[in-house]
Each structure stands twice: as C-alpha cells, then as structure tokens.
Amino acid sequence: MSSDSSHNVSYLDYKGRWKGKITSWIFSTDHKKIGVLYLFSMLILFSIGVLFGFLMRLELIAPGKTIMEPQMYNSIFTLHGIIMIFMFIIPGLPAIFGNFFLPLLIGAKDVAFPRLNLLSWWLFMFGSLLAILSVFLPGGPVDTGWTFYVPYSVRSTTNVFPALIAAFILGFSSILTGLNFITTIHRMRVQGMTWFRMPLFVWSLYATSWIQILATPIIGITLLLVVMERAFNIGIFDPSLGGDPVLFQHLFWIYSHPAVYVMIIPAMGIISEIIPVFARRTIFGYKFIAFSSIAIALMGSLVWAHHMFTVGMSPTAMIIFSVLTFLVAIPSAIKVFNWVATLYKGSIQLDPPMLYALGFIFLFSIGGFTGLIQGALSVNIHIHDTSFIVAHFHYVMFGGTGFGIFAALHYWFPKMFAKSYNMKTAKFSFWTLFFGFNVLYFPMFVMGWLGMPRRYYDYLPEYHIYHFISTIGSWIVVIALVAMFANFIVALRKKEKFTEENPWGGETLEWKTSTPPPLENFDIEPVVDSHPYEYKMNEPDQDLLKEEGTK
Amino acid sequence: MFSNSNYIDSVDHAFIFIVAISFILLVFITGLMIYFVIKYSRKNNPKAENIHGNLKLEIFWTVVPVFLVMGMFYFGWVGYADLQNPPPESMKVKVVGQMWKWYFDYENGVRTDTLFVPINKPVKVEVTSIDVNHSFFVPAFRFKKDAIPNRINTAWFKPEELGSFDVACAEYCGLKHAYMYTEVVVMTEADFLAKMESELAKKNIPAPTEVKTDK
C-alpha cells in the first residue's frame, strides 16, 4: 500500500485497486474511509431511531389511541431501543470517530488489523440489515423491549429470533473493533507517544475496548441461549420448563450495564479533547481523567444488579450493588470537576463543538445526579421501571453520548471532509436542541416520580399534561436535528474546499496533517515530545471557520 | 406531609435529601461554568494560562463526594431495610399477576381482583406470576415488587390512609401492559371484615389456577 503514488493523495481521492466510486469505499481497508462508512450508516440508523421515538411521543400526546394500535406501539419502542442502543450509541463513537481518529491521534498509519476493521463494518451492516429486515418478515416486528426479558421473549410470537441473531452479530463487530483498538494502542504509537502523552480520547477508547472484549461475549452467549430456548425448549430461563428468568436478567445486565459505560466513556474522551482546544490551555488533571476512565470501566462491571432491585435479591446483594453504584459515580464526578477546572484561566471561545461540550457537562450532570437518586434502595423501589428511568438514561445517553457525538462531529467534520459548515446554523441547532431536549425529557422525571410506569401505550388522565409537554419537546428536537443535518449536507455539497490544517488551533496530531488527511495519515512521521495539550501560548494562525459564520 | 403507607416518609426523605444535594452541586457546577466562560472568554482573557492540576484539589473533590454518596446510600438503605422484614402479625395476601390482570388470594380462601386491606394493619404480600414477568406497583405507597413465575417475592406494607389507590404493572408484559391497572382499597377494619364475609358468602370464585406448565 505504501507505493509512491499514495503519498500526498487525499484519502478521499485514493481508490486503490477499486475503480468504482462505491466499491472504493465499501472495500477500502483505510481506517478513515471505514470511519466515514460507519458515520453514514449510523446516521441513517439514528434517523430511523429518531423517527420511531417521534412516533411514540406522538402516540402519547393524549390518552387513548392517537395514531397506532398497542401492538404497533410495543414494536416501535422495542425497535427504537434496539436501533439506538445496539446500532448507534454503543458502537457510535468508537466505530466512527475511534476508527477515523485513533490512528491519527497516536501518529499511526492505520489500525493494527485493517482487514479485520473492514470485516467489522460488514458485520455491523449485516446485523443492522437483519434487524431492519425482521420488521418486514411475517410474524411482525419484535415486541419484547430491547432487553428481551424472558419469559416474554420466549413466548412472543413476533420475530424475536432474527432480532436476537442481529444483536449477536452486532456484538461480534464490537468485539473485533475493541480487539483492533487495543492492539493499535499498544503497538502502533509513534515514537515519543508514551502512555501519558496519549490524548484522552485514546485513553477512553482503550478503557472502552476492554469492556467490549470482556463483556460482549456474555451477551452473545445469553442471546444464543434465548434462541435455543425458543427453538429447543431446553429450560434454562423459562420457568415453565424449570428455568430461572432472573438468571437471564443477571446475564443480560452483566453485559448491558458495562455497555452503558461503553456508550459514555468515549463521549467523555471527546469532551476532554474539545475543552482544552477551545479554552486554549492544557487539560486540568490529565492523569485523573485518564485513570477515571479505567476506574469507571472496572467498577462499572460490578454494578449490574442495580437494574434488578425489585426482582427479589438477598439483602446482602442489594447492599453491595447499591454501594458500588454510588461509588461508580465518583470517577465521573472527578471528570466533571476537572473539565470545569480546565475552563479556569483559559481563553474560551464558544464555537459549536465547545457549546456541545458544555451542554454535555450540564445534561450529563443531571443524568448522573438522577442516577444517584436511583441508586438509593428505598427510592429505587418506587421509581424503578417508571418514566423517571426513561428520563435518566436519555439524559445520560442522548444528553451525554448523543451530545458527545454531535460535539465530535462539529469538531472533526472540517478535517474529515475538507468542507466547512455554517457556524450560525450550527449554533442555532445547538440551542434549539438543548432547549427541546429538556422540554422533551424533563417532564418524564416528574411523571415518573408521580408513578407513571414506562413502556406504556396509554396512561391515566392525571399524567396528560406531562406527556403533552414532552411531545411538544420532541418536535423541537426534531427541528434541531433537521437543521443540524441540513447544515452538514449543505457543507458536503459545497464545491469550495476547506484545506486549513488546524482551524480550531488544536495541539493533537490530527491537526498536524493536511486537510483532508493523506492516505497514510502523515507525509512526514510526526514527532511527539510533550503532553497532548501543551499550549505554547501562541495564537492560532487563522480562524477561517469563524469567518465562514459571519458571511 | 401526609402518609398513605409506612414507606412514604423514608422514601420521600431519602429522595429529598439526594435531590437537595444534587441540586446544590448542579447549580454550583453550572454557575461556575458560566462564570468561567464569561470571565475567561477570549475577549476578556486573550491569553490563557497553563495549569496542569492540583493534587490537593483532586483529593478534595474525590473524598468529599465519597462521603456525600455514602450518606445517600445510608438513607436509601435505611428506608429499604424495613421492607425485608414483615412483622409476624401481618395479614398474608398472595398477589398473582397474569396477562393482563391481577388477582389476590387471602388466607381464608377468598379471591378478589381488587386488593382489599384494613387500615393500619401490616400486609405481607407474596407476589408471583403465572405467565411472564410483571411488577406489582402501588405508586401512592412508594411500593413495588416484581411478579416472577415460579418464584415468590415477599414484601410488606402498612396502609395508613383510607381510600382507593392505583395498582399498576411496572414490568413490560405485552399487549395490554398499560391496562393492567387495579386498585388497593384501604378500609376500616369493620368494613374489611364485612367485605371478606360477603366475598366468602358469594363463593362463586373459580378454583385457583395452577401455575401453568405448558407453553
């Protein structure tokens, strides 16, 4: 691959042995192209997920039937969960921005196993298409909730089987990506890039990858057991065959709780990249942020049963899981404090990536604090499985990871595509999204506390006002997302190239190569001789993107 | 604060305690963030200062939150610990969930689809299900217990106010999950005994359904 012709060629133009426009993308082993493939496939899946969420909210705008039957509603919330969790939030940041930027950030030419990387994308697409296909197969779309709780998932006559297989395949994609990243980080750092000179996003990917490798096989096996339960009646989980449905919940959450940290840790990594750049100073407490990612990964693997406080566990188990749940909040708090401290005596510019980063801190904090509320045993008994939980995890997953993904997109978009987006539209969509988000999800805290259970097609009249406000919020969120995506699409269609190497004035290596990056990332191998955010206190050359916004 | 059941106070107090601390911290973090963004904006502070960290500060904001969250844990645990141990004089009721309704078996052989309980008497519920998972949820009592087939989950509560309160299913169970509502009716002891009497007299109760063994 390192023939002379590949030098100085933008990765976007390099086709290798593939002549076609499409084949040169879908068979490329270039980590950057694979990252872009993931980006587009996931944004499509995300849009489908948003559509389902929008329809759910529309159904709930008033009590009784509004636009769909209960069976349809049950399938839609299930698919919303499966798509958003398995196909967007879990793999999102590592697969899109990890793929594209991990090698750049550590000065490598590619990931350790480029072909395995391409295979991961193919597996991802195969799993996703199978899940989408299951909607149209006879039997009807799966209606078990994304959690596939037994015995319901064994009894449901809908297409549970393809959905389980799809999730199983998606798991392999995650495992292979994790394996690839760990090897890349261990073996392919450029000279001078010691562990403590790695950008914090790399640390977060490292922690995440270990969880993916260690925990994903458990869900894979568990889902296969459900498949076997349905097919052969073996009686592991199904109580009517002598199985134990609570065992399923344990196995499910042993993976799915760490998976929550797979979702959030890389987003925290993104925030740790963005804040120093837009504050023009080094990060506060580098090692504490780096190690808190590892601490979250370790402790987060030991708190799964806090999803099951009402299931009937021993008091000992309850105490241990509650204590650990509270303790896992500490490393997250450390990160938040360090980010805020990084603003101290900075020189702060509120460009769109920074707005998303600060929005992340606020929304994630609310998500974290409401997590503490749920960690308290007596309170948990009341709010478990109510819309309070729904609000909490949307604050963490959407307000946290979602905003992290949007922050990354606004931050790296010019580097990835050599196109600049409109700053005013970007700021407009941020504020609209931020406002709409709170209108959409905050009422769910209130009605959850008042006793509104989750996954309800219909509700008692006393909850109407909260559902109504929430649905209005969903419209604002959709408007904001449309504005954001339209902004990017307009930017992509621009003829004018944006070739500024370092528009934001970043110090990490991805800003030290041309825009867009060449095929093997660096024409001259970079040299690393300091920490990742050592601002030498000089102003960036030019803020071209800023001018763009004032046009 | 009025009280519908014995848990209300402990749950609400733990809730308010955590919400209060969280609110103060959130306002502090957000306020500080906004203050810094204005004070150290590029306009007001064109030249940044590199500060790599401060060990004392790191220790401070690690140790203090540990104490705070352990306090939260304690409040949550105290409220919960009680739920485990029904007083020996409790009235026993078997709560059975099925798709998509509840029924309640009393020790005297009465079966109802609404839960009748006397006021100020501890009630021990044995919650189970005959098909898929459900969850017996009484929001007004701050009380919930999962109904799982082949498993009996016990818990107890003591209603402290007369009236009818909603019972919902809190674990997704399929098509009519949202309609699996019934009520718990808290009555005076005399009314309760009369109700049991009349139910016994009716005796048109179907024989108890066995736990299903077919699929």
Q: pLDDT averaged over chain B?
A: 89
Closest chain A C-alpha to B159 CA, distance in angstroms: 16
Q: CB-based contact (8 Å) between B67 and chain A?
A: no
pLDDT of residue A15: 80
* Exposed / middle / buried, residue B74 (Cβ in 10 Å: 0-12, 13-18, 19+): middle
pLDDT of residue B69: 94
Does any CB of chain A come closer than 8 Å to the CB of residue B74? no
Q: Which pLDDT tens digit goes with each residue over B32-61? A: 999 999 999 999 998 888 888 999 999 999
| pLDDT surpassing 90 at residue A530 | no
- Check pLDDT > 70 for residue A549: no
- Dihedral sign for Cα A129, A132, A137, A143, please: positive
B139 in contact with A, Cβ within 8 Å: yes
Residue A1 has pLDDT above 70, yes or no: no
What does the pLDDT look like over A129-171, one tens digit per residue? 999 998 888 888 999 999 999 899 888 888 898 999 999 999 9
In chain B, where the domains are located: 8-84, 91-202
Closest B-chain CA to A249: B133
Interface size, chain A vs chain B, as Cβ–Cβ contacts under 8 Å: 276
In terms of average pLDDT, the best of A46-50, A242-246, A517-521, B153-157 is: A46-50
Which H helix or E strand runs over B168?
strand B163-169
> What pLDDT score does B206 carry?
53
Contact flag B11-A326 (C-beta cutoff 8 Å): no
Average pLDDT over residues A488-509: 92
A280 in Cβ contact with A350 (< 8 Å): no
pLDDT at residue A123 tops 70: yes
Share of chain A above pLDDT 70, in %: 96
Which residue of A238, A327, A457 is in closest CB contact with B178?
Answer: A457
B116 SS3 class? strand
Instruction: For residue B110, give how far its alpha carbon lies from the nearest alpha carbon of chain A (Å).
Output: 26
pLDDT at position A545, please? 45
How many Å apart are CA A157 and CA A302, to the nearest integer?
A: 34
Q: Which residues of B touch A375 (CB under 8 A)?
A: 69, 72-73, 76
Question: In this model, does residue A51 exceed pLDDT 90?
Answer: yes
> Mutate which of A71, A379, A384 to test chain B, going by most B C-beta atoms within 10 A?
A379
Residues 99-128 of B with CB under 8 A from A: none
pLDDT (tens digit per residue) in A433-455:
999 999 999 999 999 999 999 99
Catalogue all structural domains in chain A, each as residue range(s) with its CATH number: 29-550 (1.20.210.10)
Which of A50-54, A300-304, A341-345, B84-88 shows the lowest mean pLDDT across its residues?
B84-88
> What is the model's pLDDT at position A61?
95
Please check whether residue B183 touches A, CB under 8 A.
Answer: no
- Evaluate if residue A2 carries a pLDDT over 60: no
For residue A48, the distance in angstroms to the closest alpha carbon of chain B comes to: 23
CATH topology of domain B91-202: Immunoglobulin-like (2.60.40)
Q: Is the pLDDT of residue A93 over 60?
A: yes
Q: What is the pLDDT of residue B204?
A: 58
List, run by run, the mean pLDDT of 10-residue segments along chain B (215 residues): 71 92 95 95 89 92 94 90 85 94 92 93 94 94 92 92 94 94 94 90 59 43
* Mean pLDDT score of chain A: 91
Instruction: Using the predicted structure, report yes or no on whether residue A352 has a pLDDT greater than 90.
Output: yes
Q: What is the pLDDT of residue B10?
A: 84
B24 touches chain A (CB under 8 A): no
Contact B83, B138 (CB under 8 A): no
What pLDDT does B8 receive?
A: 84
φ/ψ bin of B5: left (φ > 0), alpha (ψ from -120 to 50), beta (otherwise): beta
pLDDT (0 to 100) of residue B3: 60
Note whether A358 contacts B149, CB cutoff 8 Å. no
Chain B interface, mutation test: which of A284, A327, A338, A348, most B Cβ atoms within 10 Å? A348
Report CA B21 to chain centroid distance, whole Å. 22
Choice among A200-204, A401-405, A522-526 with the minimum mean pLDDT:
A522-526
Say how far apart CA A263 and CA A241 lie, in whole Å: 36
pLDDT band at A341 (very low <50, low <70, confident <90, very high): very high
Phi, psi of A275 (to 5 degrees): -60, -45
